[in-house]
Amino acid sequence: MMEAFDILATASLWSAVLRIATPLIFGVLGALICERAGVLNLGIEGIMTMGAMVGWLTVYWGGDLWTGLAMAVLAGMVMGWLHAMLTVPLGLSQHVSGLGITLFASALSYYLYRLWVEVGDLPPTIEPFQPWPVPILSDIPFVGEVLFTQTPPTYVALILVALIAWMLARTPLGLALRMTGENPHAVEAQGLNPVRIRIWAVMVGSGIMALGGAFLTTAAFNSFFPGMVQGRGWICIALVVFASWRPGKALIGALLFALFDAFQLRLQTVVEGVPYQLFLMAPYVLSIVALILVARRARVPEALMQPYRRGER
Amino acid sequence: MRFERREEVSLPALILAPLGAVLAALVLCAGLIAMAGVSPWVAYGEMLTGAFGSRLAVTETFTRASPLILTGLAAAVAFRARLWNIGGEGQFYMGALAAAALGHSALVGWPLPLAWVALAVAGMAAGAVLLLVPAVLRLRFGVDEVVTTLLLNFIVLLFVGLMVEGVLKDPMAFGWPQSVPVAAGLRLPDLVPRSRLHVGIVLAVVVVLVVWLVQARTVFGAETRAAGLNPRAAAFAGVPITATLVKVALLSGGLAGLAGAIEVLGPVGYVTTTLSPGFGYAGIVVAMLAALHPLGVVAASVFVATVFVGADAMSRATGVPSFIADVIMAVALLAMLVALLFTTYRVRR
């Protein structure tokens, strides 16, 4: 038991927490932007897969790591555009369209990867992002090692949380976005176009989701392989509800989740006689528990999943 | 652009929509095949011969179609009531585990038809209970069932791993993680000798007919439809929405569980973590291509099985990655969504 507590006191655990949380932070932020504008995006699992593939492939083909991230965002936005076209102007079921996007984006990623990359016994690798210690700040004991010795995409994720929180709460753009998710008719009465806002929100949100996938292949690992997103997208959908659609709480949710994940990983090596599958199940069980705890109190955006048609009530 | 609901959907439109969607998917994916440097004509030709070119190919295609019919039906009955059951994969595995566990020894010596009924019921019960949890969570706590059923798929797959490496591990499998086998006497008989095609497909079609009759002729069928079309109006008209959704969940989960049980009792004989090549997820595509109609499910299953069995052969012959099968499915699903929109709405400028 003591050993379990010892684990909690190590900087390496907390550093891992931030690393594990990074793809989730991107995913939750992306999903949050879509949903705040009134569109559920269940394409996330596939969009993350696509981001992981495109980001990796760009670097494999000689692009630098930042170009890889940019291309991933672009690919995510294309998928988001597709989902937006089907659900916003056409008003198709957001559930089914999202699932279709997930199937499409992951199948296409695997297909193109197989087509373009020679895979032997082991998947080919790239030189991934290395941890980048922030000057001065990284010298602070413990905190410096945990917070300021991460890979660059993790810093991007943290900055995005603040940026999106500020955008939603303080800017006219954020207000318009939130209103589109609550009452698109009121938005139209203001002379804005809710259809266009929704399309852009889904595209931008999907681009951010793709970053979560790209982080996996360009920073956390150095190769791409089928099934590597491993349900992280679905966990993000659960985390959005847990966060009641707020960026700050989304960060906390992703960190809590990652803490649990990192802790169970280390616990596996300490506790013997417990099948490893039980540890692996824990994150998924936890997501469901989190949903149950919060679902009742959650204040869902009023117009979420309601197709908006002009002049119709 | 505006959409106006059509008074009624014509029968030809309902049949043409899936055909158009499938055609669109094949045309769009032809570009991806061409990128591999292979002529789409050649590739699709190989796909067709791969699925129907020989006796073995035909039986293999229908062997693949049988679980798809049941998982597709499972998705269709649930979607009809707007219960988004995406957990067919997990329910399939639970049914398979139940059948393997009981079929190994517990039911040996029972009169045969009775043992089969018991195994089928066990498989259905296992699948049904698994979907009951998300259904209750949605009805009691308002938790979206899409996420819970999906997360349960991951949990169940790990649970299957736990079982086939643990209590259900076959000690005779030379250390391979696979479950104890179903007793030879309890296996379903083959339909075509010297092939993997077994009576499971007949069973699946019978189940389709029963479900179709139930949907078309019974109060439960009418209540499901009402709950799916407009739950608020249905509740006002006195339809017990909660009870209906619980029944739909039991039926849907049960069908997917039955698919798993039949797969174990029929062609495979034991459970591994790779028992299903995604039958649960493909079932969603089947259900959509069938426009949620039970009879359409049979046709859509054969199409999906053709693409998957054919893609493997095509991949061996031409080198086009077999992942193209998944791409075709996904594009067909998206195209079908759009096609359905135009069968139920007309466009006004």
Q: What is the ipTM of this complex?
A: 0.93
Is residue B130 within 8 angstroms of chain A, CB to CB? no
Two tokens, residue A177: 């976005």
Instruction: Find out whether B305 and B72 touch, Cβ atoms under 8 Å.
Output: no
Output DSSP code: residue A134. Answer: P
Residue spans of beta strands (DSSP E) within chain B? 2-5, 345-348
Range in A10-14, B255-259, B288-292 the model is least confident about: A10-14
Asked if A309 lies within 8 A of B326 by C-beta distance, the reply is no
* pLDDT above 60 for B278: yes
Q: Which of B147, B329, B338 sits opposite A291 (nearest CB)?
A: B147
Asked if A284 lies within 8 A of B154 by C-beta distance, the reply is yes
Min distance A204 CA to chain B CA atoms (Å):
21
Output DSSP code: residue A280. Answer: H
Min distance A141 CA to chain B CA atoms (Å):
39
Judging contacts by C-beta atoms under 8 Å, the chain B residues touching residue A234 are: 147, 150-151, 154
* pLDDT above 90 for B290: yes
Length of chain B: 349
Query: How many CA atoms are closer than 13 Å to the CA of A124, on its beta-carbon side?
Result: 14
Is residue B185 within 8 angstroms of chain A, CB to CB? no
Judging contacts by C-beta atoms under 8 Å, the chain B residues touching residue A237 are: 146-147
A266 CB contacts (<8 Å, ≥6 apart)? A7, A13
Is residue B327 within 8 angstroms of chain A, CB to CB? yes
Query: How many CA atoms are closer than 13 Å to the CA of A101, on its beta-carbon side?
Result: 32
Quickly state the pLDDT bin for B2 (edges 50, 70, 90): low
Instruction: Find out whether A216 and A129 touch, Cβ atoms under 8 Å.
Output: no
- What's the rounded Cα separation, in Å, for the pair B48 and B225? 37
Q: Which three-class secondary structure state does DSSP give residue A229? A: coil
Give CA B62 to chain center in angstroms. Answer: 14
Judging contacts by C-beta atoms under 8 Å, the chain B residues touching residue A95 are: 84, 146
- Residue predicted with more confidence, B115 or A295: B115
Q: Helices B88-101 & B112-141, crossing angle to 10 degrees?
A: 140
Asked if B321 lies within 8 A of A99 by C-beta distance, the reply is no
* pLDDT above 90 for B195: no
Which among B121, B18, B30 is positioned nearest to B333, based on CA atoms? Answer: B18
Asked if A111 lies within 8 A of B321 by C-beta distance, the reply is yes
Instruction: Find out whether B337 and A96 touch, Cβ atoms under 8 Å.
Output: yes
pLDDT tens for residues A251-303? Answer: 999 999 999 888 888 887 777 778 888 888 988 998 899 889 887 777 788 88
Two tokens, residue B30: 């032809």
Q: What is the model's pLDDT at position A101?
A: 97
- The model's pTM is 0.94
Q: What is the model's pLDDT at position A121?
A: 82
Q: Which of B137, B161, B320 sits opposite A277 (nearest CB)?
A: B161
- Three-state SS for B187-254 is CCCECCCCCCCECHHHHHHHHHHHHHHHHHHCHHHHHHHHHHHCHHHHHHCCCCHHHHHHHHHHHHHH
- What's the rounded Cα separation, in Å, for the pair B339 and B22? 10
Is residue A294 within 8 angstroms of chain B, CB to CB? no
* pLDDT above 90 for A148: no
* pLDDT above 80 for B234: yes
Percentage of chain A beyond pLDDT 90 is 66
Q: What is the mean pLDDT of residues A81-93?
A: 94
